[in-house]
Amino acid sequence: MIHPSTSRLHGYAAGTLNNAARAGVAAHLERCADCRRAVADMREFPAALTRATDAAPSPAAWDAIAARVSAGDAVLLPVASTEAVPVTRRTPWLRIAAGVLLLLAGAAAAIRSTREAAAEASELSFSPATPVAGGDVGVVYRAGALLAGADSLVLRARLLTAAGRGMAGAPTVRLGTLRRDGSEYRGRFAFPDSAVYAVFAVENGGASRVDHNGEQWDLMAHDRAGRPLPDALLQRVDDVQSRDTRLMEQTARRMTELYPERVDGWMWLFHAQTANATRERADSVTREHRARLQAFSARLRARSARTAEEVSGVLWYADALDDSAAAHEWRDWMYRNAPLDVTSRRHRVFQVVRGRGPERLAELERMWEPSGDAVAAQVPFSGFQLAAAAGDDEALLRWGDRMVRIEPRFIAVLARMSMTRPAIRPAAMERTRLALRDLDAGGDDRRPLTATRAEHERSSDGARGLFLGLLGRALAETGSTRAALDTLSRAVAATWDPAVFRGAAQVRLQVGDTAGALPLLARVAADPSTGAGFADSARAMLGARYDRAGWAREVAAGHGEMRARVMRSAVNLPVRGEIRLQRPGGGEQTFSARSDSVTVVAFWSRWCMPSKQDLPELQQIAAELRRRGVRVITVTHDEPPAALREFLASNGLTFPVFFDPDNAARRALQNQGTPNYIVLDRTGRIRFHTYGTEDLLAQADALRDGADAPVDAAVTNADR
Amino acid sequence: MLRLSPSVPAEDELVRDVRGGSLNALGTLYQRHSPAVFGAAYRILGTRPDAEDVVQDVFVGLPRALAGYQERGRLEAWLRRVAVRTALMRLRGRARRREDAFDDLPELASPDGESALDRLALQRRLRLLPEKLRIVLVLKEIEGYSHDEIGALLGVSAGTSAVRLFRAWKHLRSGAAS
């Protein structure tokens, strides 16, 4: 008897054959018990096997899980799949139980606002979510409140290559257009060949609104088997380290799981763990890594042939761990066996920078080649640092110019640094003029991924004011009074900066222009960061020119000017839904956006480095704000209250802290990450949405003084 | 020890609470779904310790992973997909270490219907399959992946996946005959 093939029997069992084929197999099955059994097996075996193997893990498994979770252990799961999956957090909508309760309480409006809020969150998904470099990626964007309505939107990305971000940071590029397709926006782009990691943002055509979701939308390049490339994982570690050290640790851990033989993964895991660990835990982390370093060293020693690259990896690990014996051993090997290798030269530069002694600049000079490779290109940046630290003005200019030749954007750094050295003033002024020219030439490609065009322009204006201020004062010193006054006027016009006003006032006073100095000093006095004692100094500086009424008038005018300038960066957005938060001790608290006072809401995270660095300042500013009658609410990631209390206490932080477990406040206030400071006026509208604490006092003041003033129509329209 | 609370909480509430860091909610999800996660991992890895490691990793990683979970399908189906991927990752690591073992689950609590002997027989049949064939059979027939998806997961073509599936069935048949 001729039996049907296995594939044909399988097709019969699965019901995928056409009629004729099915009839043929059925006829055979009538006569053949063997094949009947095979078909029955194909139908039954999978389910039977599932029943036989879906079993409870051993009782100890849960204890281990609970212990790991409680210890803050985190595993980055491979949730990406070939189907389009959301890369962002999605929030659970419409909690029905809560809705019913509210309905019973007769608060139908509140339900509607919750439901509206549910539609506000945006979502960006990629297909495939595990792209290969050079591959095509489909994009679906569901717009939230921020960007809903436009016909097309722009997809931008910050791209990192395997070689890293370079000295001036990773380039931000426009990847393409997303077109509206029903309720979603769709587009495609080619994952650039050279890139291994990308972070995305979506914005409207004029870049007045940017949805970056706290830089959580990202993609890594994968291999054909769907594994993220090692370089992609490393670049992600590097990119997220400044905004989420927990994600950094998870990514590094995933690297060590996927590529345990790669020593660089372990080195980054060590850096990430020390960033997150408590002091007590840090010691045991270091011990574990030292043991691993010993194992890597032993394995390397046992090998008869080694490459410079392998040795270099272990050497960086040893340097990171401060294991001088291992570092010495492998550095010695490198310098003896591969002195000219790229990695060896990189270690040499690192050694020179880390070392001591006046001969280091001369040593770098020997390593420097004007048209060298990537390692040679690093040398000027090190030389500039060393020259600045050593106070060697001439070397500072020499290395600085070389640095700028490699990376033109560093002209700003060179200008600022050289202007602090009186001995090289003329050369420094020349560099400052170049920096101003560079600012004027800078296009949209310099705009960071997360910044709107207006935010970027404001920050350029701030830099312009600073450079013009420095230049104006230097011109005054050299006796070019007219040019100095002219330059300083431009500086004053460019930005609201008390330091610039003070400098300009000093020059006015020097040339005997007390009348011109008066409004400048009054602006300094009007700035909320200026102490009360300043009025006395101003009075002394103004001498006979001072009269109480005139001074009060000027300070009031200064206030008005400050308010007008601060309000130029204001927005006017509604709060969507309720600001519903949870007290760390348990229990919900709902804040109404409208209040008798101005409200500042600060979103922070102790796992985000810039946010963590802001905290001491936030503590001071929050105290000052409350002294001025401003309501202050701070919101952090949900975490165990005990750990949070300990963190707050050990850092002397006393501002009120809330959790946002449902992301209700995050949605309501259109928060996209940390640090983020949101200022509401008394009518409950969002008026400032900023990333730094430095303007909070001025913003709160501006709103407090003029909250009932009509909103500038131009601002509202541009913003809507 | 874990206990299911008398008023059984809804899955979406549990998901929300796990996102919010609740260990109790995680425990409830664990009690409900750990057998499915364990089974998915065991069928790929074939050893109890390996499968339990996957269970641990999946549930430790769950609070964070749920942040990206979209409530479209059943949580258990999603968990099984995550378990499969985690197990495949582990399998690759094991291949590098050149370990291969397949052990029985004799101490399993008896699920409905099958006797302990039947279950052992089923497990043994699976164990007789070469690993490459076993993985495809499990992914296709039990986890319900398409050949395209299997190809992407394993880094082979969809055609290779289909060929392996039929070889697996052929193998099972000849094993059953012998």
Q: Where are the beta strands (DSSP E) in A22-71?
A: none
Min distance B78 CA to chain A CA atoms (Å)? 9
Cis peptide before B49 (omega within 30 of 0): no
Q: How confident is the model at residue A83 (pLDDT cuts 50, 70, 90)?
A: very low
Reported ipTM: the value is 0.84
What SS3 string covers B55-121?
HHHHHHHHHHHHHHCCCCCCHHHHHHHHHHHHHHHHHHHHHHHCCCCCCCCCCCCCCCCCCHHHHHH
Which candidate from A5, A49, A51 shows the least CB-CB separation from B113? A51
Distance CA A211, CA A155 (A): 10
- Are residues B10 and B92 located together in one domain of the fold? yes
State residue A459's pLDDT score: 83
B158 touches chain A (CB under 8 A): no
Alpha-carbon separation of residue A513 from A481, A485, A489, A509 (angstroms):
12, 10, 13, 5
Distance CA A709, CA A713 (A): 12
State residue A637's pLDDT score: 74
pLDDT tens column, B12-64: 788 888 887 788 889 889 988 999 999 999 999 888 888 998 999 999 888 88
- Are residues B117 and B173 located together in one domain of the fold? yes
Q: Do B26 and A49 touch (CB under 8 A)?
A: no
- Are residues B35 and B3 located together in one domain of the fold? yes
Q: Do A58 and B52 touch (CB under 8 A)?
A: yes
- Are residues B78 and B130 located together in one domain of the fold? no
Q: Which residue in A12, A16, A77, A83 has the most chain B C-beta atoms within 10 A of its own C-beta, making it the best mutation to test that interface?
A: A77
Min distance A326 CA to chain B CA atoms (Å)? 26
Provide the CATH number for the domain around residue B19: 1.10.1740.10
B65 touches chain A (CB under 8 A): yes
Q: Minimal CA–CA distance to A525: which of A550, A555, A548? A: A555
Phi, psi at A591, each rounded to 5°: -105, 140
Q: Do A89 and B68 touch (CB under 8 A)?
A: yes
Q: How confident is the model at residue B103 (pLDDT cuts 50, 70, 90)?
A: low
Min distance B154 CA to chain A CA atoms (Å)? 5
- Chain A residues inside the 8 Å CB shell of B142: 46, 49-50
Domain end point (choices B104, B122, B138): B104
| Choice among A648-652, A656-660, A703-707 with the minimum mean pLDDT | A703-707
Q: Residue window 452-471, chain A: list those with CB within 8 Å of chain B.
A: none
**Three-state SS at A688:** strand
Strands A657-659 and A631-636: parallel
Q: Do A257 and B89 touch (CB under 8 A)?
A: yes
A694: left (phi over 0), alpha (psi -120 to 50) or beta: alpha
pLDDT for residue A566 is more than 90: no
- Chain A residues inside the 8 Å CB shell of B81: 81
B96 touches chain A (CB under 8 A): yes
- Are residues B15 and B90 located together in one domain of the fold? yes
The CB density around residue A473, as the number of other CB atoms within 10 Å, is: 20
Domain end point (choices B56, B76, B104): B104
Q: Do B170 and A62 touch (CB under 8 A)?
A: no
- Chain A residues inside the 8 Å CB shell of B73: none
Q: Do A61 and B34 touch (CB under 8 A)?
A: yes
Q: Do B27 and A66 touch (CB under 8 A)?
A: yes
Q: How confident is the model at residue B102 (pLDDT cuts 50, 70, 90)?
A: low
B64 touches chain A (CB under 8 A): yes
Which tops the pLDDT comparison, A710 or A573?
A573
Domain end point (choices B104, B126, B148): B104
Nearest CA in chain A to B177: A34
Share of chain A above pLDDT 70, in %: 91
Cis peptide before A128 (omega within 30 of 0): yes
Distance CA A397, CA A403 (A): 10
The CB density around residue A134, as the number of other CB atoms within 10 Å, is: 12
- Are residues B116 and B86 located together in one domain of the fold? no
Which candidate from A46, A54, A88 shows the least CB-CB separation from B38? A54
Q: How confident is the model at residue A6 (pLDDT cuts 50, 70, 90)?
A: confident
- Are residues B17 and B81 located together in one domain of the fold? yes
Strands A631-636 and A599-604: parallel
Q: Do B149 and A57 touch (CB under 8 A)?
A: no
State residue A396's pLDDT score: 93
Tell me what the mean pLDDT of segment A473-484 comes to: 90
- Are residues B17 and B87 located together in one domain of the fold? yes
Cα-Cα end-to-end distance for chain A = 78
Q: Minimal CA–CA distance to A447: which of A394, A409, A476, A398? A: A409
- Chain B residues inside the 8 Å CB shell of A261: 96
Chain mean pLDDT for chain A: 83
Phi, psi at B153, each rounded to 5°: -65, -40
Q: How confident is the model at residue B68 (pLDDT cuts 50, 70, 90)?
A: low
- Are residues B162 and B98 located together in one domain of the fold? no
Distance CA A402, CA A201 (A): 34
- Are residues B96 and B126 located together in one domain of the fold? no
Tell me what the mean pLDDT of segment A567-583 comes to: 84
- Chain B residues inside the 8 Å CB shell of A81: 81, 85, 149
Q: Which segment, A220-224, B107-111, B149-153, is predicted with the most confidence on average?
A: A220-224
Distance CA A84, CA A127 (A): 5
pLDDT for residue A81 is more than 70: no
Provide the CATH number for the domain around residue B140: 1.10.10.10
Q: Do B172 and A37 touch (CB under 8 A)?
A: no
pLDDT for residue A202 is more than 90: yes
pLDDT tens column, A515-544: 899 999 999 998 887 877 888 888 888 887
**Token pair 């701030």 is at which residue?**
A462
- Are residues B55 and B119 located together in one domain of the fold? no
Cβ-contact A140, A186 below 8 angstroms: yes
A88 touches chain B (CB under 8 A): yes
Distance CA A156, CA A174 (A): 4
| Choice among A69-73, A650-654, A696-700 with the minimum mean pLDDT | A69-73
Determine the structural domain holding residue B1 and report its residue range.
1-104
pLDDT for residue B69 is more than 80: no
Strands A686-690 and A218-220: unpaired
Which tops the pLDDT comparison, A448 or B109?
A448
DSSP character at residue A519: H
State residue A717's pLDDT score: 33
Q: How confident is the model at residue B73 (pLDDT cuts 50, 70, 90)?
A: low
Distance CA A289, CA A283 (A): 10
Q: How confident is the model at residue A698 (pLDDT cuts 50, 70, 90)?
A: confident
Q: Residue window 635-664, chain A: list those with CB within 8 Å of chain B.
A: 638-640, 659, 661-662
pLDDT for residue A414 is more than 90: yes
Sequence-ordered list of residues with C-beta below 8 angstroms from that of A371, at least 6 positions apart, any chain: none
Which candidate from A50, A77, A257 shows the least CB-CB separation from B82? A77
B91 touches chain A (CB under 8 A): no
pLDDT for residue A117 is more than 70: no
Which candidate from B15, B123, B149 shows the least CB-CB separation from A52? B123
pLDDT tens column, A301-359: 998 888 888 999 999 999 889 899 999 999 999 989 988 888 888 888 888 887 777 78
Per the structure, the count of domains in chain B is: 2
pLDDT tens column, A118-154: 335 788 999 888 899 888 999 999 988 788 888 999 9
Tell me what the mean pLDDT of segment A95-123 comes to: 37
- Are residues B79 and B121 located together in one domain of the fold? no
Please return the burial class of A402, using the count of CB atoms within 10 Å of its CB with bins 0-12, 13-18 and 19+. middle
State residue A101's pLDDT score: 29
Distance CA A497, CA A693 (A): 15
